[in-house]
Structures are given as structure tokens and as C-alpha cells.
Structure 1
Amino acid sequence: MPASTVRVGVQIAPQHSPYATIRDTLAELEDLGVDIAFNWDHFFPLSGDPDGTHFEGWTMLAAWAEQTTRIEFGPLVTCNTYRNPDLLADMARTVDHISAKDGAGRLVFGIGSGWFERDYAEYAYDFGTAGSRLDALDAAMPRIEARWAALNPAPTRKIPVLIGGGGEKKTLRIVAEHADIWHSFSDVETLERKLGVLHEWCERVGRPTDAIEISTGVDVSGALTAEQGSALDAQHALGARLFTIGVSGPDIDLAPVKALLAWRDGVSG
């Protein structure tokens, strides 16, 4: 991805809506010109009624692969410890192939260490500690990469790896070693500090920082406020190039998405 390219992502929360609404929302996002559509990898809602309607992420991504033709898509983010890493790599490779309409797949492989304790408790996964979950992610990434190299057929392209999280001692070192995209939810001041830490880790592992696309979660209203626009501009000046907004049922409002797209087109133009 050229360093100057600004992209918009939209995370469709797979909660509080019938699947038909999620499917129709994805189609509208592709028609609007959104660059990447995300869901998430959880088993229960993260907001609203905690026992409300919810759908599993990876089976949904396979459907998205068939439904769409242009837009990239992926989980923001899959939880590493919910699945064997080799199986997860095979799942991603398969979805990559399903999405390949003109030779190259469109999956963005978002992954993180996991954090939502209810998922672990109700699905009988070992929650461990934040440190042990990051250690598991550290161990899983080489396995995932090795499995992609061994699969027949191979992925259609080098599947872009997005790693989410901002931990400065472990997460950003894993980002420096393995990620094509680093995603965080950071204000301008925090983003600036963490980019400095990421640069230090990249120097240690011998990788240029500009090889990693900087992704940030943003809060935008239907009519972009001056404060929101200023924050977007400041993050862009720091090097952020992928700006992602979330939408959720039961009433999915795409006005903020349209405002963010207008800002993207103004910056790119």
C-alpha cells in the first residue's frame, strides 16, 4: 500500500441485528467506496444487551468473501487463543481463496491476543493473564506464517496481517516482527508516543517502520465536527493511513461513514 494512500475501514458489529441487515449493510458499504469492512471475533455483544442477538465472525467472513467483489475485509480482530494457530491459518487461507474474484484474495488477517473474559468463560477457554495471552500470540505468529507456506494451494497473495493492540513491551515488538498493519484506538498524543516505541522495536528487529501501515479507530459523527476533523488531520500527519469507524445494530447509521469518506476523499484529492 503506497504510503500516501488514505483508506477507510468500517467495523460492522455482528450484534443486535438480523443477519440480513448485516449483509445489506456490507453491500451498501462496498457501493459507497469503503476500502475495508471488518467484523469482530467475539461470541456475545460488547455493548447494549449482553445477551442480545450475536453471530460468529469467521463463518460470517466466508459469506462476505462470496458476497463482495472489491472491498477488502477481515476480523478486527480475531482472538488468537480461540483456535489452534495452524487451523486458523487454514481457515484464513480458505476465506482468502473464496474471495478471489480476479486472482487475488481480499482477506485482511486481523489478530490480537484476546481480552473479553466472558468469551473465555462460556466457551471453556483458558483466560490466563494478559501476559500469557500475549506470549501465546507471540508463539502463534510463526506457526501461522509457516502453515501458510505449507498449505496446498497456497494463499492467493501474501495475506496482510493486521495486529491490534498498543502494549509497548510485547505487542509492539510482535507488530514490528510480523504485522503489515498496526491497529490501535489512540488519541493523537498516545499515537505519537506509541509510534516512537514502534519505531524503536522496528530498529531492533531490522525492519523499516514505513513497511507497516498505521491504522486507528476513530469517532466521527454524521456532520464532522471541527474537533473531529482536527483529530483526523493530526493522526494523518503522524502517519495514520487507515481510519476505521464502527457501526452497530439495531439501527445502523451510515451517516458517519459518509462523513469519513468525504474527509478521506478531501485528503486524497
Structure 2
Amino acid sequence: MGTAFGIMTAQQQVSYEDILRVWTEADAVPEIQHAWVFDHFMPIGGDPAGPILEGWTLLSALAARTRRLRLGVLVTSNRFRPPALLAKIATTVDQVSGGRLDFGIGAGSRPSHPLARREYDAHGLPYHDAAHAVAGLAEACAVIRRLWTEEEPFDFDGAHVRLAGAYGNPKPVQRPHPPIMIGGRSSATLRVVAEHADLWNMPGGGIEDIAAAISRSKLLDRYCTEIGRDPAAITRSIYLPVSYERPGETRAAVVEAEGAGFGHIVLGLADPYPDGVVKWVAEEIIGAR
């Protein structure tokens, strides 16, 4: 099976109409199989006070306006929404899309990123350390899967998640549940990936990150083997930004990633989006490699 290519439109410094134009085009370009938004409440690029749309609300709107693309949030911060609420939101998007959701989730932003760090104080959200965030991610994945699959109410008494009488109805369209993509590169997060993920996304920045991606992928293989899971059961995904001025560099990064075993590639589109940008990506990046 060949590489599955997708696009990402980070919904900062742009309007809903801008993003809808790109996604409508992508829905008609067969080389593009999936599309993503990100999960931030305040811009992390460009004007810090510029416009930004909430990811899951936007995703549901885009799900209603597309017919073919698989779609998701790359990736949801588990720090932003309680897991049971997130399970309900994701189920709603899977229902709206007719079963096209890829469920992306991660531990949340790094404390070293000041523009991301400010989101928590600005929205009254607690900001926990990395160990707390990763442990909470593992519990969230367990709870969300149970809400999607179990037919009876259940209680959950974890260190980070506590539920009483939890139950999900309706269930997602996809059975047993939407594919779970976990994003991140830390060793602790990769252990959660080995346990819970169908796809793993390596946050990337270009061809210079491929070596790190290969190293992390090998570590994930080891963690899977330790718990008796086939490493091949987890699809390897990577985010690569698109250069409109230097498409050859992006093509080189794509070829390098494919050669390293990454069969799911998310091509990040910088704003403002040129007219016909998706067709250009299909021809100049995907088709010309």
C-alpha cells in the first residue's frame, strides 16, 4: 500500500472561508487522502493577538462540507478538555463525517514554548508538568476507547481521571472505534503510543528532523516488542512543512521520510494559502517526487 498524503491548515491568521476553500479543493484532489487542523486557542505563529478558530468546532464544520477526506486534529491537547467530553466531541465529528475521523491526541504543549504556554492562563486551564501530562494521556486514551466501545455504564477511578456512570451514546460510526493517532516524540509518550495508538505522528520541521524520526521510530519498535505488540500495527506518520518557494526541499524531505518507513505524511500549508494550492502540492510535491 502506498503512502497516504494529507494536508494541515493551522487555523491561525486566517478565516473560516480561507480554510474551507482549501479543504473543498482537497476533497476533489485524489492524491490528498486526509486533512488536519491544529489545537491551539491563541496563535503560536504570526501576530500573537491575531485571529484563531477552535479546532474541534472547525473540524465538525469542515466534516459537514466534505465527502471524501479523512480528517482530524493534529493533535488534540489532552490538557484542554476532560477525556469523557472529548470522547463525545469526537463521536459527534465521526457521526457528522459519516465515519471519516482519525482521532489525534497528545499530552499537550511543551512548557518551553511561551506562545503556547500563555493559552492556559488565558483560559483558566491548569498547566501540569510533563510527567503528569503523559500519565493523564494514558488514562484518557483508556477512558475514551471504553466510552466508544462499552455497552454498559462504567466507573473509572484513575490517578488523573475519575468518572462515575460513564457511558457513550451514540457510538462512533467507525467500529470498533476511530483510529487513534498519538502525537509526540518523548520516550514517555512513545510508551503510551505503544499501548494505545493505531498511528503515531512525529512532529516534524523538515528534512533535518528525519534522523530524529528514525531514532524515535526504532524506540517505538522496542517498546511495542516489550509489551508483546507487533510494531507494524502502528502506522508511522510525520508532519512536514511545505515550502512554496523551494518545493524541491519539501520533495526531498518526503522521499527521505518514505524511505524511513513513514507511510502517512501530513504536509503543512503556510498561510496565506495560494489559489490552487492543493493541486500544486499534488503536482509539485507528491507527483514530482
**TM-score w.r.t. length of structure 2:** 0.83
Q: Tell me how far apart the structure 2 counterparts of residues 21 and 179 of structure 1 sit (CA, whole Å).
A: 32
Kindly indicate whether residue 181 of structure 2 is the aligned counterpart of residue 162 of structure 1.
Answer: yes
Partner of 1:127: 127
The Cα offsets for residues 101-155 of structure 1, whole Å up to 9 and x where unpaired, read as: xxxx001111011112112111111111122111111121101111111323321
Kindly indicate whether residue 50 of structure 2 is the aligned counterpart of residue 28 of structure 1.
Answer: no
Correspondence for 2:57 among 56, 59, 72: 59
Which deviates more from structure 2 when the two are superposed, residues 135-144 or residues 251-260?
251-260
Q: Secondary structure at the match of 1:32?
A: coil
Letter in 2 for 1:261: A
Q: How does 1:23-102 map to 2 (within 5 A)?
A: 23-33=20-30, 34-100=32-98
CA pair 210-224 structure 1, distance change in 2 beyond 3 A: farther
Letter in 1 for 2:178: I
**Amino-acid identity (%):** 34
Partner of 1:114: 108
Q: Tell me how far apart the structure 2 counterparts of residues 201 and 51 of structure 1 sit (CA, whole Å).
A: 41
| Residues 96 and 155, structure 1, Cα contact 8 Å, conserved in 2 | yes
Kindly indicate whether residue 194 of structure 2 is the aligned counterpart of residue 176 of structure 1.
Answer: yes
- Unpaired runs of 5+ residues, structure 2, are 110-115, 151-167
Q: Tell me how far apart the structure 2 counterparts of residues 245 and 97 of structure 1 sit (CA, whole Å).
A: 26
Q: Secondary structure at the match of 1:156?
A: coil
| Residues 22 and 278, structure 2, Cα contact 8 Å, conserved in 1 | no
Q: Tell me how far apart the structure 2 counterparts of residues 217 and 38 of structure 1 sit (CA, whole Å).
A: 11
Q: Tell me how far apart the structure 2 counterparts of residues 260 and 183 of structure 1 sit (CA, whole Å).
A: 21
CA pair 142-54 structure 1, distance change in 2 beyond 3 A: same
CA pair 219-256 structure 1, distance change in 2 beyond 3 A: farther
Q: Tell me how far apart the structure 2 counterparts of residues 236 and 5 of structure 1 sit (CA, whole Å).
A: 10
The Cα offsets for residues 26-70 of structure 1, whole Å up to 9 and x where unpaired, read as: 111212232111111111111000010111111111111111100
Q: How does 1:7-26 map to 2 (within 5 A)?
A: 7-26=4-23
| Residues 245 and 257, structure 1, Cα contact 8 Å, conserved in 2 | no
CA pair 47-223 structure 1, distance change in 2 beyond 3 A: closer
The Cα offsets for residues 48-101 of structure 1, whole Å up to 9 and x where unpaired, read as: 00010111111111111111100011101111121111111111111101111x
Partner of 2:282: 261
Q: Tell me how far apart the structure 2 counterparts of residues 227 and 25 of structure 1 sit (CA, whole Å).
A: 22
Q: CA deviation at 1:231?
A: 2.8
Letter in 1 for 2:203: F
Q: Secondary structure at the match of 1:218?
A: strand
Q: Tell me how far apart the structure 2 counterparts of residues 197 and 191 of structure 1 sit (CA, whole Å).
A: 10
Q: Secondary structure at the match of 2:79?
A: helix
Q: Tell me how far apart the structure 1 counterparts of residues 200 and 275 of structure 2 sit (CA, whole Å).
A: 25
CA-based RMSD:
1.9
Q: Secondary structure at the match of 2:266?
A: strand
| Residues 87 and 147, structure 2, Cα contact 8 Å, conserved in 1 | yes
Letter in 2 for 1:112: G
Q: CA deviation at 1:213?
A: 1.0
| Residues 176 and 207, structure 1, Cα contact 8 Å, conserved in 2 | yes
Correspondence for 2:242 among 210, 220, 243: 220
Q: Tell me how far apart the structure 2 counterparts of residues 256 and 27 of structure 1 sit (CA, whole Å).
A: 11
Which deviates more from structure 2 when the two are superposed, residues 220-229 or residues 198-207?
220-229
| Residues 224 and 259, structure 1, Cα contact 8 Å, conserved in 2 | no
Partner of 2:227: 205
| Residues 103 and 181, structure 2, Cα contact 8 Å, conserved in 1 | yes
Q: Tell me how far apart the structure 1 counterparts of residues 77 and 125 of structure 2 sit (CA, whole Å).
A: 11
Kindly indicate whether residue 234 of structure 2 is the aligned counterpart of residue 237 of structure 1.
Answer: no
- Unpaired runs of 5+ residues, structure 1, are none
**TM-score w.r.t. length of structure 1:** 0.89
Partner of 2:142: 142
